[in-house]
């Protein structure tokens, strides 16, 4: 038996649910989502139209630590399982998160309970798992990176955070949570990204490996780059790049970029229909992460952008070191990187 959730039903649910967490959960569901009425879990035909990403930095950090430290052991704790469990348990409210919340979950797994058994009565676990997979699915895994061993550059295989801070290592920046703040240029709208304030010319590095889908001028973002993850779920938007010299030579539409590659330089371009104009008041990188569950969500009124402030804080734990090529004046990553998803690309590496 299936029940179709209509807009009217959602409106009634929101009006009678006084708890903010209940309202947040209901709002996350598509108006035409189908639910399995027998066990209250989302059916396979899930159609996510919005995601409120409220996971705290502390929960991200601790879930990541549990994932990495348990990898290769008898009992592995994938961080997306952990975070989806916490969100389903706390109604997507991480304001009272404590580290012991994760221990409670891992203790259940250690008692030989399966994830299916533990979450059987959590009707939104499936939703959060799919949503968090779309957001964080490419963040942790196996990868190879170069390192020095007795003055010799060698490749080292690792498991861990394989995405990078968009600001290169040893370059300072400031940021605060400005997601959904008002913007008025062109038309009244909400800020759908996260701003990292720094110095003009600061090297910008790719957060995740992927394919360049756009590079050029936009009156709102100025010189900007759009890179799509290989699983097609995440679209990374880097905007307001430097006037006159915004991009690394690696950046061309259709090119494959490796996580940590230098892709451009921080600037203050944008807010102009005329190209190559500095109309932004303060130099900064606009970092945006768009989720795409269906290609119809790529452009238009159905776009899903997530609050990535806490993601940016997490990424500060992994910055790509760069150096300046004296001949070209370009900045280049110091240590090369390779992951399995790059297989067959022209940037495959070793």
For the segment 78-136, what is each residue's pLDDT rounded down to a tens digit?
999 999 999 999 999 999 999 999 999 999 999 989 999 999 999 999 999 999 999 99
Reported as a pLDDT band with limits 50, 70 and 90, residue 2 is very low
b/e per residue 89-121 (b: at least 16 CB within 10 A): bbbbbbeebeeebbeebbebbeeeeebeebbee
In percent, the amount of the chain with pLDDT more than 70 equals: 85
User: Do 42 and 128 meet the contact criterion of CB atoms below 8 Å apart?
Assistant: no
User: Which residues are CB-neighbours of 295 under 8 A, at least 6 positions away?
Assistant: none
pLDDT score recorded for residue 22: 39
Q: Is the dihedral of CA 173, 176, 180, 182 positive or negative?
A: negative
| Percent composition of the chain: helix, strand, coil (DSSP 3-state, to 5) | 25, 25, 50
Question: What CATH number should be reported for the domain whose range is 161-342?
Answer: 2.70.70.10
C-alpha closest to that of 97 among 57, 125, 67: 57
Residue 21 Cα distances to 24, 90, 237, 335, angstroms: 5, 8, 29, 44
Half-sphere exposure of 299 (CA within 13 A, CB side): 3
User: Do 147 and 174 meet the contact criterion of CB atoms below 8 Å apart?
Assistant: no
pLDDT score recorded for residue 277: 98
pLDDT score recorded for residue 13: 34
In percent, the amount of the chain with pLDDT more than 90 equals: 76
- Which residue is it, tokens 């009272």? 96
pLDDT score recorded for residue 345: 67
b/e per residue 168-204 (b: at least 16 CB within 10 A): bbebebebeeebeeeeeeeeeeeebbbbbebeeebbb
Of 39-48, 151-160, 172-181, 188-197, minimum mean pLDDT range: 39-48
Reported as a pLDDT band with limits 50, 70 and 90, residue 34 is very low
- Report the distance separating Cα 150 and Cα 263, nearest Å: 30
pLDDT score recorded for residue 28: 46
- Report the distance separating Cα 262 and Cα 322, nearest Å: 8
Tens-digit pLDDT profile for residues 319-334:
999 999 999 999 999 9
pLDDT score recorded for residue 301: 79
Residue 54 Cα distances to 45, 51, 250, angstroms: 24, 9, 34
Residue 267 Cα distances to 18, 118, 156, 261, 312, angstroms: 45, 48, 34, 18, 18
pLDDT score recorded for residue 83: 98
Tens-digit pLDDT profile for residues 205-232:
999 999 999 999 999 999 999 999 999 9
Whole-model pTM? 0.86
- Which residue is it, tokens 């997507």? 92
Question: Over the chain, what is the mean pLDDT?
Answer: 87
Tens-digit pLDDT profile for residues 122-162:
999 999 999 999 999 999 999 999 999 988 999 999 999 99
Q: Is the dihedral of CA 210, 292, 102, 76 positive or negative?
A: negative
pLDDT score recorded for residue 51: 94
pLDDT score recorded for residue 187: 80
Reported as a pLDDT band with limits 50, 70 and 90, residue 43 is very low
- Report the distance separating Cα 153 and Cα 2, nearest Å: 59
Q: What one-character-per-residue DSSP string does 170-220 give?
A: T---B----TT-EE-SSS-EE--SEEEE--TT-EEE-SS-EEEEEEEEETT
User: Do 313 and 306 meet the contact criterion of CB atoms below 8 Å apart?
Assistant: no
pLDDT score recorded for residue 346: 55
- Report the distance separating Cα 172 and Cα 170, nearest Å: 6
Interval 32-56 mean pLDDT: 61
Phi, psi of 79, deg, nearest 5: -70, -30
Q: For residue 213, what are the β-bridge partners?
A: none
User: Do 323 and 336 meet the contact criterion of CB atoms below 8 Å apart?
Assistant: no
All CATH 2.70.70.10 domain ranges in the chain, comma separated: 161-342
**Longest CA pairwise span in the chain (Å):** 68
User: Do 144 and 338 meet the contact criterion of CB atoms below 8 Å apart?
Assistant: yes
pLDDT score recorded for residue 25: 43
**Does the pLDDT of residue 27 top 60, yes or no?**
no
Return the higher-pLDDT residue of 179 and 310: 310
Of 36-50, 73-87, 132-146, 332-346, minimum mean pLDDT range: 36-50
Dihedral (Cα; 67, 160, 176, 243), 10-degree rounding = -160
Reported as a pLDDT band with limits 50, 70 and 90, residue 181 is confident
Tens-digit pLDDT profile for residues 240-272:
999 999 999 999 999 999 999 999 999 999 999
Please give the structure tokens belonging to residue 316: 């500060």
Please give the structure tokens belonging to residue 197: 């304030």
pLDDT score recorded for residue 36: 35
């Amino acid at each position: 038996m299936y029940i179709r959730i209509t807009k009217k039903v959602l409106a009634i649910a929101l009006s009678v649910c006084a708890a903010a967490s209940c309202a947040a959960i209901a709002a996350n569901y598509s108006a035409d989502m189908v639910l399995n009425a027998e066990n209250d879990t989302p059916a396979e035909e899930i159609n996510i139209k919005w995601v409120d990403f409220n996971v705290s930095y502390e929960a991200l950090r601790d879930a990541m630590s549990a994932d990495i430290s348990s990898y290769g052991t008898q009992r592995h704790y994938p961080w997306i399982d952990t975070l989806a469990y916490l969100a389903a348990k706390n109604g997507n409210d991480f304001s009272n998160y404590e580290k012991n919340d994760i221990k409670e979950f891992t203790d259940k797994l250690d008692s030989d309970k399966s994830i299916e058994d533990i979450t059987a009565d959590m009707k939104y676990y499936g939703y959060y798992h799919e949503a968090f997979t779309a957001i964080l699915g490419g963040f942790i895994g196996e990868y190879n990176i170069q390192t020095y061993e007795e003055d010799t550059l060698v490749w080292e295989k690792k498991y861990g955070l394989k995405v990078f801070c968009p600001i290169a290592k040893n370059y300072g920046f400031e940021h605060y949570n400005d997601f959904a703040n008002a913007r008025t240029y062109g038309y009244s709208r909400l800020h759908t990204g996260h701003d990292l304030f720094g110095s003009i010319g600061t090297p910008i590095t790719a957060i995740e490996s992927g394919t360049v889908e756009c590079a050029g001028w936009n009156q709102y973002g100025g010189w900007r780059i759009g890179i799509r993850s290989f699983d097609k779920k995440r679209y990374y938007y880097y905007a307001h790049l430097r006037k006159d010299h915004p991009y690394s030579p690696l950046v061309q539409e259709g090119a494959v970029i490796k996580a940590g590659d230098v892709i451009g330089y921080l600037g203050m371009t944008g807010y102009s229909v005329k190209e190559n104009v500095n109309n932004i008041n303060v130099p900064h990188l606009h970092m945006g992460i768009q989720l795409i569950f269906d290609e119809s969500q790529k452009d238009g009124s159905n776009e899903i952008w997530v609050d990535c402030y806490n993601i940016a804080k997490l990424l500060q734990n992994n910055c790509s070191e760069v150096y300046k090529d004296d001949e070209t004046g370009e900045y280049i990553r110091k240590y090369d990187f390779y992951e399995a998803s790059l297989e067959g690309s022209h940037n495959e590496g070793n």
